[in-house]
Structure 1
């Protein structure tokens, strides 16, 4: 009984303070500050190219941040990146953890169960009889498929259906099921609402809410966050900001009532409300530099850029 209790999924608290990641051509994201309790649903919101995926990968120990710090389940980043990877799992992340279109659903599930047993299983589990190990793997698969809401019998060819024949929502459910086989404390999903109809989008968010309610912390990249999620917003061409769905009034130190960083107002030139896009000590205000022939758009020292996010992702194997 005790061992079974320890294996039950339990969410990991996520804390970020001035968190940032920089690529060769600029910042992918920066100044992210938020706090999420275990079992929270966190929506990383923003336009494509604004550093959403980089933030997702950095918070799961897959990319090394440049500034600030964060903790996942009490494990500090970047110092304990390997440990963070062990308690987190990726659903779909294009170019990083993708489904093989030639594989069937059953092949994907069996492969993930075997990998889980080989690399994450205890020595005692590896010494069990083959029949017992197979039964344990089947139980894990069934549990994960059920939690992901994937109805194998409803697929065109059942579990023998190829990934290329899955609808977008079914593929999303499969990727989540594969991640849940490892019973992670934190689940991360990229492009949650990409190419989904309104009805399918509602189903996808209902699924993620159910996982969070069951105790697993969920990070989900999306173009538009639901109102009940903790929103972490990335802004292209400006500093990344984080805010809860219903933030309190800002205090004098620029944080919300719960300590969450307030979002700086963006001006027409992509700077914060104080107009400072970079190091003003290096040459005056943006207006002064513009007058001298140096436009504010050329000053990318402190701005997050699409190129910065692309470069950072390329270093992980995603172009």
Structure 2
């Protein structure tokens, strides 16, 4: 995998009631793990969404793999993916792990504007994503038939990372790494993100406390005076306020400046695809029927 370098200078985002974040400086090399550290409400989530082409900034300059934002938001979305981002792309608790994986695999060509893959190629990509995310379907309580609500917290996070890796992105963003985790589990998840970065994928991960050996981008609460448009008081984005991924060019690339009004923020695994294959084929798609 080839990672995407990210550079930002004086990056900021303003909402109708104030500043979300401002004066962000970042220089992340391809394949680097960067911890975005700041307290709740400091704009961490909005920054991650902005750096992956899913929210529009209002100040400064930023490039992802040489693509300027916000001008090339659609192109940036095609080479980036969201790992677990609470309240944005939470997996559906009632669906099984296999159903989430199959759905994301089937949706990938539609979101990215590619032709539908052969089954063998899709299975190979799935196996690679699961291996890199450290998620063994055989070790789950009910194997691939395990529902999300039956997963341990770390297993759910690994599933979110695997779903992101199915897109073969050059950069992934993971929000609030330490949420609901013990100290040991937090170290485990940082180890996972280091492994993803070591495989060549650039990783941006937000947290309240970064590990000592990580490259850190600090955001102070003083930088954020008010949430972004469409966010709550804690700075967590409302999906209706962000952009939907897809093959179509964004407004700026089409020569207009109209703000997006799409309904979803991310490549959500909860969306469904039309297929002649029935739900029972979910386990076959994982290669572990």
Residue matched to 2:14: 22
Residue matched to 2:170: 185
Residue matched to 1:244: none
Q: Distance in 2 between matches of 1:61 and 1:117?
A: 19
**Paired residue for 2:225, among 287, 300, 305?**
305
Structure 1 position 191, deviation (Å): 1.4
Q: Distance in 2 between matches of 1:118 and 1:25?
A: 37
Q: 1:221 to 1:234 in 2, by over 3 A?
A: same
Q: Distance in 2 between matches of 1:207 and 1:93?
A: 16
Residue matched to 1:296: none
Within a 5 Å distance, the mapping from 1:79-90 to structure 2 comes to: 79-90=71-82
Within a 5 Å distance, the mapping from 1:68-217 to structure 2 comes to: 68-120=60-112, 122-123=114-115, 126=116, 133-217=118-202
**Residue deviations 1:62-103 (CA, integer Å, cap 9, x gap):** 000010010001100111111000000001112322211111
Structure 2 unaligned segments of length 5 or more: list them. Answer: 243-262, 265-289
**Paired residue for 1:222, among 191, 194, 207?**
207
The structure with higher relative contact order (CA 8 Å, sep 6+) is 2
Structure 1 position 24, deviation (Å): 1.6
SS in structure 2 of the partner of residue 10 of structure 1:
coil
Residue matched to 1:66: 58
Structure 1 unaligned segments of length 5 or more: list them. Answer: 1-8, 240-303
Residue matched to 1:10: 2
Question: Normalized against structure 1, the TM-score is what?
Answer: 0.71
Within a 5 Å distance, the mapping from 1:225-264 to structure 2 comes to: 225-236=210-221, 238-239=222-223
Structure 1 position 235, deviation (Å): 1.2
Residue matched to 2:30: 38
Q: Distance in 2 between matches of 1:175 and 1:79?
A: 28
Q: Distance in 1 between matches of 2:52 and 2:113?
A: 20
Q: 1:140 to 1:48 in 2, by over 3 A?
A: same
SS in structure 2 of the partner of residue 116 of structure 1:
helix
Kept in 1: contact 2:43–2:227 (CA 8 A): no
Structure 1 position 307, deviation (Å): 3.6
Q: Distance in 2 between matches of 1:60 and 1:117?
A: 19
**Paired residue for 1:48, among 40, 45, 56?**
40
Q: 1:119 to 1:57 in 2, by over 3 A?
A: closer
Q: Distance in 2 between matches of 1:209 and 1:198?
A: 17
Larger C-alpha radius of gyration, 1 or 2?
A: 1
Aligned residue pairs total 238
Structure 1 position 26, deviation (Å): 1.1
Q: Distance in 1 between matches of 2:111 and 2:16?
A: 34
